[in-house]
């Protein structure tokens, strides 16, 4: 986890842009061939749909952690908050890309709303995760960075299939 680089206002914009940006790459038009391509496992062992689903799950976990930090004094957070490998699920995504994108719409909007509701005085609140202090701002920064990283990896997986 890096030090906070993303302002809350920038994070809100990013959260609300992820659904459009992911949809543009994953499923730009409703076509069975494009859907099959989005679900094809690439050389890295994941499909573009798997990466989009990982973003959904990661944003969900990080939004819950943000809630814990804001409402609880010194919460102990799950190690997956700072260890992305702990957020990976072993099973492949069985859902269609459109369903994953619908989930991304919901979780990204929910996270953006949670950021908007967070008072300026609450951004320095923190919890403990694997022996480290993690602030509310760190959680938002991690969410933005995770979504951006997964989008870049998703683009690379799709490009390698061409």
Q: At what angle do helices 136-161 and 48-71 cross, to 10 degrees?
A: 180
Q: Is residue 1 part of a domain?
A: no
Q: How far is CA 105 from the centre of its chain?
A: 11
Structure tokens at 88: 């990976």
What is the number of domains present in the chain?
Answer: 1
Cα–Cα dist 89/151, whole Å = 18
What was the pLDDT predicted at 2? 46
Q: What percentage of the chain reaches a pLDDT higher than 70?
A: 94
Note whether residue 61 is domain-resident: yes
The gap between the terminal CA atoms of the chain, to the nearest Å, is 33
pTM of this prediction? 0.92
In a domain, 72, yes or no: yes
Helix (H) / strand (E) element for 155: namely: helix 136-161
- Residue 154 within a domain: yes
pLDDT attached to residue 4: 56
**In whole angstroms, how far apart are CA 84 and each of 10, 32, 101, 106, 135?**
22, 31, 21, 21, 17
Choose from 7-16, 41-50, 86-95 the range with maximum mean pLDDT.
7-16
Whole-angstrom distance, CA of residue 134 vs CA of residue 74 = 10
pLDDT score of 129 more than 90: yes
CATH number at residue 27: 1.20.120.450
32, pLDDT greater than 60: yes
Specify the DSSP class assigned to residue 126.
Answer: E
Q: Kindly state whether residue 3 falls inside one of the protein's structural domains.
A: no
List the domain range (segments joined by +) for residue 47. 8-161
Token pair 């995760």 is at which residue?
Answer: 129
Domain membership of residue 2 (yes or no) is no
**Residue in this structure with the two tokens 């919901």, named with its chain if needed:** 106
- By mean pLDDT, which of 12-16, 29-33, 97-101 is the weakest? 29-33
| Choice between 90 and 138, residue whose per-residue pLDDT is larger | 138
Does the structure show a pLDDT above 90 at 95?
no
- Contact (Cβ atoms closer than 8 angstroms) between residue 137 and residue 4: yes
**Max Cα-Cα span within the chain:** 50
- Residue 27 falls within a domain, yes or no? yes
* Helix axis angle, 97-117 to 48-71, nearest 10°: 20
């Amino acid at each position: 986890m890096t030090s906070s680089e993303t302002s809350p206002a920038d994070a809100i914009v990013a959260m609300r842009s992820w659904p459009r940006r992911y949809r543009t790459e994953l499923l730009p038009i409703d076509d069975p061939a494009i859907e099959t391509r989005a679900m094809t496992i690439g050389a890295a062992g994941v499909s573009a749909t798997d990466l989009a689903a990982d973003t959904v799950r990661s944003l969900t976990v990080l939004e819950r952690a943000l809630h814990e930090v804001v409402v609880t004094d010194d919460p102990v957070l799950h190690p997956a908050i700072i260890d992305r490998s702990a957020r990976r699920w072993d099973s492949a995504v069985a859902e269609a890309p459109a369903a994953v994108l619908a989930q991304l719409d919901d979780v990204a909007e929910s996270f953006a709303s949670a950021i908007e509701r967070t008072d300026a005085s609450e951004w320095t609140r923190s919890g403990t995760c694997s022996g480290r202090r993690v602030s509310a701002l760190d959680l938002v920064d991690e969410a933005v960075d995770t979504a951006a990283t997964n989008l870049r990896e998703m683009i690379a997986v799709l490009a390698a299939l061409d």
